[in-house]
Structure 1
C-alpha cells in the first residue's frame, strides 16, 4: 500500500474505534483485520475479518455531503426490511449514525461468497442450462422486488412513487445541462438534446407503483459459485425508492446485449458475453417479467431509451470531471467518444432500429 493509499484508508476508518463498536455488537475477538474493496465507484466498501466471521461495511466517501446517492442508512433500511422476504439480500448486522466511530454513518452486514459477473462468465457457467439460468434468475429476482408488498415490510414512506418517471426525465436533463456547461467547449452532442426532448414529449403519465432498486443489473447481484446457478444476493441499494418498475426493467435491459446490436470498441458500461445464444433474449426476459408481475411492458421504447439517456448522462458528467481535472480515472476521457455513441444508441431505440 502506498503512502497515498494509506492516507486515504485512514480517512475511511479508525480501526481501533471500529473494533470497539464491533466488540459491543458481536463480542470480542483476537482475529481482526480491515481492508478496502477497490471496485466501488460511489459508496465505499470495507471488508472486515472478525474472528471466524467475514463482514462488509458500507460508508459514504470521505468529505462528501450526504445525499440520496450516499445515504447508507437509507440503503441499510431497505436491506434490513427485506431480510425475511423473497428478495435475496445479505444478512444485516448493525448500523449507526455516530460519526465519532469512523467519521460518517455506516452499516455492517455479513459477507457472502459467490460470483459477480462483470467482464466474463465463469467457466463453471459456460453451459446451456446455467447460461439460461443466469438470465432467468436475474429477471425473476427483479420481479420479486416489484411484487413485494412494501407496506407490509415497513417501506410505505420510502419514497414518492407518484410522478417518479417524469422526475427521472427532468433530473437527467438537468444533470446533462450541468455537464454541458463545460463539455460543449470540447465537442457537442446535439443528439442527446433530441433524445431528451423526445423523452419529455413521450413520458408516461401513469405507471405502477412498487419498490424499485434503481440500479438493477448483472454486476449488482451475486450468484452461487456452483452449478446449477442460483442468485443469492442483490447489492447496491443506494438508489432504491418507491417508483416505476418499468424503469427498473428498462435499465436492466440496457445492459443486456444481443448479437444483432450495434457495438463499438469503446463500450465502457456493458459486458457482451450474454450475446451467446444460450442466454435468454431481451424479449424472453420481458415476457417472463410480465408473466410474474402481471404488468405489461408498455412504452418499451421510452423506458429503454431513458436508460441509455441516463448512461449517457453519467458519461457526460464523468467527462466534465475529467476536463476540470477532478479525476484521474482512465475511463473518464474516453467519454468524449462514448457519450455520442450512447446518444446514437438511444436514438436508434426511439426510431425502432434497435428493437426489443
Structure 2
C-alpha cells in the first residue's frame, strides 16, 4: 500500500469531510502517512502540500470496551488548550464511522521529537538528556496542577473510588485479551486488591505518560503531550508510577523503553523526588502504585500482542512484545513483596 493510501485512512474521503466541515482549510490533494511505532491508536501525518495535520483513529481490529475513545482524547486536548500544559490545537472530531471506518479526530501538526531510545538521547549528550527528563517531570506536575473544573472537565471522570475501578478495569481488559498462561499475573492482581492505598487529591490523569508520548523541541522543552486515550480524573500518582515503570523498561527489553540508560538521564529516585518537590504531593505509598503500574503495562502489552496474533495490528515489532509481559508481572510482584 502506498504512502498516499495507508491502511485505515482514505485521503479522498478525509478531504471530502474536511471540505464540508472546515471549508477552505485544505488547499490541495491530501497525502497521508502512517506514523510507525504506535502500539495502540493509529496516528497519521496528513498534508496538502502547504499545511500538515495529524489524524488519530482506533486500531483496525479488536477494540476493547472503553478503550480507543476518540471523543475523550479530543475533549481533554481541547480543554487543555489554554493551560500551561502543551497540547496540539484541535481541528475537529468525527464520530461518523462512514467517513474512515471508525471515529477519528484531526489536530494541528506540532514540531518536536518523541524520544524513545537510548541512542537518540546519547546523540544529544548528558546535559540535554537531563534537561529533557526534568522538563518531562515538570510538565507532568503542571498537568496535575490544572484545576479541571475550571477548564470544563468536571464531568470527565469519577475520582471517587478511582483506584478500585482502575484495578477492576485492567483486570477486565486482561480477561478480554487472555489467550495464554501468564504466570504470576493473578497473584499480582490479588495483592493489589488487598493493599489499596488512600488516593491523593484528584487531578487530570494522562494514563500513559512517558517520554515517547511527548514531543520535545529544539530548546529541549516539551512542545506537546500526546496520546490521551487513557486520560480521566483520578489519582495523579498513577501517572508518576507508570512513568517509572516505563523508565525501568530497559531491563525488560527495548520494546518498552531504553531512554533511562542514556548518560545524563536522572535516576528513578531523582525523578520521583523532583515530582514530589515540584507538585508538593506525598509519594510515600509509591510501592503500591508501582506494582499497579507494572500490572497495567503488562495488560496493555498483552492486549497489543493479542491483536498482533489475530493479524489486526499495523506496524513492526509486535511479535516481540509478548516476551515483555512476564518480566513486567515479575517486577510488579517483586515491588509489592519488598514493600
User: Given the two structures, how large is their TM-score scaled by the length of structure 2?
Assistant: 0.87
Deviation for aligned residue 1:123? 6.4
The answer as to whether partners of 2:62 and 2:312 remain within 8 angstroms in 1 is no
Q: 1:326 to 1:47 in 2, by over 3 A?
A: closer
Identify the residue that residue 17 of structure 2 maps to in structure 1: 21
The answer as to whether partners of 2:5 and 2:32 remain within 8 angstroms in 1 is no
Q: 1:34 to 1:244 in 2, by over 3 A?
A: same
Question: Unpaired runs of 5+ in structure 2?
Answer: none
Select the structure of larger CA radius of gyration.
1
- After TM superposition, list the pairs within 5 Å mapping 1:339-350 onto structure 2: 339-350=325-336
Q: Name the stretch that deviates more: 341-350 or 299-308.
A: 341-350
Partner of 2:149, secondary structure, is coil
The answer as to whether partners of 2:4 and 2:32 remain within 8 angstroms in 1 is no
In 1: Cα distance, 2:136 partner to 2:220 partner:
11
Question: Unpaired runs of 5+ in structure 1?
Answer: none
Post-superposition CA distance 1:66-98 (Å, at most 9, x none): 853221122111111111110001111222333
- After TM superposition, list the pairs within 5 Å mapping 1:77-92 onto structure 2: 77-92=75-90
Deviation for aligned residue 1:135? 1.0
The answer as to whether partners of 1:125 and 1:131 remain within 8 angstroms in 2 is no
In 1: Cα distance, 2:314 partner to 2:74 partner:
30
2:129 is matched with which residue: 122, 128, 131?
A: 131
Post-superposition CA distance 1:159-210 (Å, at most 9, x none): 1111111112222233334445x313xxx50x22222221111111333211
Post-superposition CA distance 1:275-305 (Å, at most 9, x none): 2452212222112212222211131110111
In 2: Cα distance, 1:248 partner to 1:120 partner:
22
User: Given the two structures, how large is their TM-score scaled by the length of structure 1?
Assistant: 0.84
Matched residue count:
337
The answer as to whether partners of 1:35 and 1:47 remain within 8 angstroms in 2 is yes
Partner of 2:255, secondary structure, is coil
1:140 is matched with which residue: 117, 138, 150?
A: 138
In 1: Cα distance, 2:158 partner to 2:275 partner:
23
Identify the residue that residue 204 of structure 2 maps to in structure 1: 211
Post-superposition CA distance 1:19-64 (Å, at most 9, x none): 2333341515235323332332322222221342111111223466
Deviation for aligned residue 1:125? 5.4
Deviation for aligned residue 1:309? 1.3
Q: Name the stretch that deviates more: 105-114 or 246-255.
A: 105-114
Higher relative contact order (CA 8 A, sep 6+): 2
Identify the residue that residue 201 of structure 1 maps to in structure 2: 194
Partner of 1:194, secondary structure, is helix
Alpha-carbon RMSD: 2.9
1:231 corresponds to 2:218: no
The answer as to whether partners of 1:183 and 1:323 remain within 8 angstroms in 2 is no
Partner of 1:40, secondary structure, is coil
Q: 1:348 to 1:310 in 2, by over 3 A?
A: same
Deviation for aligned residue 1:121? 4.4
1:286 corresponds to 2:284: no
1:12 corresponds to 2:5: no
Q: 1:336 to 1:235 in 2, by over 3 A?
A: closer
The answer as to whether partners of 1:214 and 1:241 remain within 8 angstroms in 2 is yes
